Structure 1
Amino acid sequence: MKIIIVGCGKVGTTLAEQLDGEGHDITLIDNKATSIRNVTDTLDVMGIVGNGASYHVQMTAGIEKADLLIAVTGSDELNLLCCLIARQASDCHTIARVRNPQYNDEISYIKSGMGLSMIINPELETATDISRLIRLPSAIKIDTFAKGKVELLKLQIPQESILNQMKIMDIPSRIRCKVLVCAVERGDEVFIPSGNFVLESGDKISFIATPKDAAYFFHKAGFTNGLIKDVMIVGGGNIAVYLANKLTATGVTVKIVEQSRERCEELSDMLPNALIINANATDHNVLIEEGITDMDAFVSLTNLDEENVLLSLYAQKKSKAKVFTKITRLTYDDVIREMSLGIIINPKAITADRIIQHVRAMQNPKGSNVETLYKIVSNKVEALEFHVRNNPDLVGIPLSNLQTKNNLLVGCISRKDRIIIPNGQDVLQIDDTVIIVTTQTGLDDLSDILE
């Protein structure tokens, strides 16, 4: 597809890298020549210096022949204006990043009124991810499929777990739970495991299950999954607002530590059910006085990565809380991974991933299309959700008889209101949705799973 990206910041650059890697024709627009040059020097993309909301600039970028325009500048209004002009100049799809919480209640109206294909709110998406992980404290990552009826979860196996030294084929009989282990990280290696694969302590496993079965699996496998009742958030930005609203709505007690007195007053008005504390969290006495040692979860969301790292390290030392650390710059990713920072949260990466999912879903070259896509296991594995069309090479044939590509697994079948964790005798039916987990990147159609 021909894709125009307006905004050459971290999100725009990440999108350009991933979409260019998938073979799309990419044009970048930014009013800073240095930003354009930094990207065009490293990627095979076209760059235009100018205002992305200018009709003339969009025409120069080839908007008339574009399939999609993505506006991810730092201004919500500019992003919406870029999309509006693009819709007037062509029949292309449009995606806008809109971050201001004031627009949140009007997103549906804005999207339909302007004919947008998608509106992405990084802070809301980030808060949603964190709140899911707070629901299951032992999970490292949770993604959803089939409109929330199926989850893809990630956990790390501790030394004392019943899963240590267990064959994957023995999990259903030993734990009596319908889950499917679809990927295993062991050190730097990634496996799409067979039934004979033996799990070890320290492995990070990704598995598919319904929300009910996932909770039961954690319980039976010996993971501590007590309810999180008390959460401390440091930093009172938009992510904190969205997260606090989600948590307090489920009865969780939330404390927010924010340094700016003016912002604290705003938070008090927006979050009547949360306790707002005006203090500098880098003063460790503050965190002790506010009860960090008794917290079930600690979320560091300040605007400084370095501060978030220090706060999370301190929280890990002083409490048994589940720790979340916001990191926006992953320049030192290999170093950060080795630090005890709990779960790393990167709003810009989350935004890029959601947009990539949508772009893949737009591609429909053969009738079956990608409904949902997640990159998991450090982007080494993809989990894709396809809608099953009438394909005689796939429909009605036992899965064990399909000649699928190597390192590929059929993870789940959703059939009307029924969720099937499949075995080799299950078959695909028309109108099913099916989840495929694979190290083979770039699958655009369900038939691509066949050799």
Structure 2
Amino acid sequence: MMLFSRKEFSDKLNMKDGLNIIIVGCGTVGRTLVEQLSKEGHDITVIDFDSELIREVTNQYDVLGVVGNGASFNVQKEAGIKDADLLIAVTECDELNLLCCTLASRVADCATIARVRNPEYSHELSYLKDKLGLAMIINPEYEAAKEMNRILCLPTALEVSSFAHGKAELVKIRIPQDNMLDTMTIAKLGQMSDNVLVCAVERENQIFIPSGDFELKKGDAMSFVAPSKTVGSFLKSIGFNSNKVKNAMIIGGGDAGYYLSKLLISNGISVKIIEKDKNRCEELAI
């Protein structure tokens, strides 16, 4: 059984000769994966119950298609599971995705990725990943909620990206007029905060990797890395008001709304959810 880290996946997906990849599910996510991965030169085979969807995808992209149940050994065999490097299951059913990946990892020497969206599994993802031999589990709704949470908690930033399991953040800000950073060197900024690393500065459509004597100017877009817990205090120290959201109203109590509300509440933001389903409202209120 092959297990890969995220970096190993990235390296393999950028191999010159490409990979043999099976994608189960031709919904929005599946078709997006087909479009991206086929552009990168990988050999793609898609599996779906809907013959019309298979026909549309195979006509639009240079991929093979198999109509059937992706959790069936015979269907996976027809799709070429024995020679596959990677199987990605992104149907609408979490359980079907897990079953597809479990079967593939048992009958072939390939890595597997499953889309799992149900909040009931949110606290079991690491366990499922390890016990079922999955290389990765993805949850688009949770990832979208995390991105919205970052924006709401730091609205003055142009971009915010989290990495190292949320322990550090890459933040991009634009230096306004009359800000203390205008004409300040990177070395001087480093004296103010030794746990902040300035990675790049964008100025007039040019990108600079600044050295210590590089002088910042108003209008520059500065990207820096800092521990997540210190980003707010650092921005405040250089004259940026965080303008952190204190109250939020979420329209819709689906999975994304559920994940977002939990993240916001954990950050001290008061949340109200508007949902037309009374039973769902009662579930969310507990």
If the TM-score is normalised by the length of the shorter chain, which range does it land in? Answer: 0.7 to 0.9
Q: Does 1:125 align with 2:160?
A: no
Q: What value does the CA root-mean-square deviation take over the aligned residues?
A: 2.9
Cα deviations by residue, 1:39-80 (Å, 9 ceiling, x for unpaired): 334433333333222212211111011111110011112111
Whole-angstrom distance in 2 between the partners of 1:37 and 1:197: 57
Paired AA for residue 266 in structure 2: A
> Take 1:184 and 1:9, find their aligned partners in 2: how far apart are those partners?
38
Note if contact 1:36-1:49 (Cα within 8 Å) is conserved in structure 2: yes
* Offset, 1:159: 4.8
Amino acid at match of 2:247: D
Shift of 1:244: 1.8
Inter-CA distance 43–193: structure 2 relative to 1 (3 Å threshold) = farther
Deviation at 1:185, TM superposition (A): 8.1
- In structure 1, stretches of 5+ residues that fail to align are 270-451
- The counterpart of 2:48, out of the listed 30, 45, 53, is 30
The reply to whether residue 237 of structure 1 matches residue 217 of structure 2 is no
Following superposition of structure 1 onto structure 2, how do residues 313-332 of structure 1 map, counting pairs within 5 Å?
none
Native 8 Å contact 1:241 1:267 kept in 2: yes
Shift of 1:254: 1.2
Distance of 2:88 and 2:235 partners within structure 1:
39
Query: Quick one: distance in 2 between partners of 1:160 and 1:48?
Result: 62
Structure 1 15/160 Cα, relative in aligned 2: closer, same or farther at 3 Å? farther
- Counterpart CA distance in 2 for 1:158 and 1:37 is 53
**Structure 1 position 248 matched with structure 2 position 265:** yes
> What amino acid does structure 2 have at the position aligned with 1:173?
K
Equivalent-residue separation in structure 1 for 2:201 and 2:55 (angstroms): 38
Q: Distance in 2 between matches of 1:69 and 1:25?
A: 12
Inter-partner Cα distance in structure 1 for 2:55 and 2:206: 35
Which residue of 2 is the match for residue 401 of structure 1? none
Once the two structures are superposed, the pairs formed by residues 11-90 of structure 1 within 5 Å of their partners are 11-90=29-108
Q: What are the ranges of 5 or more consecutive residues in structure 2 without an aligned counterpart?
A: 1-18
Cα deviation code 1:325-376 (max 9, x no counterpart): xxxxxxxxxxxxxxxxxxxxxxxxxxxxxxxxxxxxxxxxxxxxxxxxxxxx
Tell me: CA distance 1:197–1:48, structure 2 relative to 1, closer, same or farther (3 Å).
Answer: farther
Judged with a 3 Å threshold, the aligned counterparts in structure 2 of structure 1 residues 180 and 174 are, in CA distance, closer, same or farther, namely closer
Could you say which residue in structure 1 is the equivalent of 2:129? Answer: 111
Report how far residue 85 of structure 1 moved. Answer: 1.9
Question: Superposed, which structure 2 residues align to 1:284-433 within 5 Å?
Answer: none
The residue matched to 1:19 in structure 2 has which SS? Answer: helix
Query: Does the CA contact (< 8 Å) of 1:179 and 1:213 recur in 2?
Result: no
* Counterpart Cα distance in 2 of 1:28 and 1:236: 32
Q: Which has the higher contact order (CA 8 A, sep 6+)?
A: 2
Residue 2 of structure 1, aligned match among 13, 20, 23:
20
Paired residue secondary structure (2:117): coil
Please, what TM-score do these two structures have when normalized by structure 2? 0.78
Aligned to 1:207: 224
The alpha-carbon distance between structure 1 residues 20 and 162, as it changes in their structure 2 partners (threshold 3 A), is farther
Check conservation: 2:186, 2:215, Cα contact below 8 A. no
Give deviations 1:364-399, integer Å, cap 9, x for gaps. xxxxxxxxxxxxxxxxxxxxxxxxxxxxxxxxxxxx
Aligned residue in 1 for 2:154? 136
What's the secondary structure of 1:105's corresponding residue?
Answer: coil
> 1:171 is matched by which residue type in structure 2?
I
1:171 counterpart = 2:189? no
Letter matched to residue 191 of structure 1: I
Cα pair distance change 1:147/1:179, threshold 3 Å: same
Identical residues among aligned pairs (%): 48
Gap change, CA 1:234 and 1:213, over 3 Å in 2: same
Equivalent-residue separation in structure 2 for 1:213 and 1:102 (angstroms): 32
In the superposition, relative to structure 1, how do residues 24 and 206 fare at CA in structure 2: closer, same or farther (>3 Å)?
A: farther
- Equivalent residue in structure 1 for 2:236, among 219, 243, 247: 219
- CA change 1:100–1:61 in 2 (3 A) is same
Name the residue aligned to 1:363.
none
Q: 2:279 is matched with which residue?
A: 262
- Deviation of 1:5 after TM superposition, in Å, equals 0.9
Please report the TM-score for the alignment, with normalisation by the length of structure 1. 0.52
Higher mean C-alpha deviation, range 72-81 or range 234-243: 234-243
1:158 Cα deviation after fit: 4.2
Alignment correspondent of 2:4: none
Letter in 2 for 1:252: I
Aligned to 2:9: none
Q: For the residues of structure 1 that align with 2:40 and 2:94, how far apart are their CA atoms?
A: 27
Distance (whole Å) between structure 1 residues aligned to residue 207 and residue 62 of structure 2: 31
Q: Could you list the per-position Cα deviations for residues 173-214 of structure 1 after superposition, in whole angstroms to 9, with x for gaps in the alignment?
A: 15734331326386xx5735555586553x654332333553
Partner of 2:207: 191
